[in-house]
Structure 1
Amino acid sequence: MKCIYCGMKMEWGTTTLTLNVLKEPIPITDIPCLICTCGEVYLPLKIQAQIGRFAEVALSVEEEEESEEMATMTI
């Protein structure tokens, strides 16, 4: 596969993403991805979907905690 920015051939490697969940950074390490020599990183769609589901669950947990805090403040 070629990079859409520079046209060079990309190679498989791994990367680390950090999600800010519940006001704390959570690193997700060793994510398989395509890396170009120009610095671009491409995550496969399957990996993007898994990260998206993880983020949705984390956001719903964060929203529940915030609603509990608000409930305690109003009592």
Structure 2
Amino acid sequence: MQVIALIIIGAAAGFIATRAMKIETDIPTTIAIGVFGAIVGGLVLRFLITISGWMAGFVGAVLGAMALIWLWRTYGGRR
């Protein structure tokens, strides 16, 4: 069940992060960015999840996705 929640939250976070960072990606890439961002954000902001619940996890997922986009733009991706 948590894997499904990770995919749903990651997809939403990826969508918001790609729009906030003004990058055009296809749907699978957007979902992948969001899921990996959710993993990164979840690890970094783990203490907030225990304090304030799922909303902190969503914020962490968006921030993690934005950090992943920044890394992708800076060190990789298409130029």
Give the TM-score normalised by structure 1. 0.30
Give the TM-score normalised by structure 2. 0.29
By percentage of residues, which structure has more helix? 2
By percentage of residues, which structure has more strand? 1
Which structure has the bigger radius of gyration? 1
Greater relative CO, 1 or 2 (CA 8 Å, sep 6+): 2
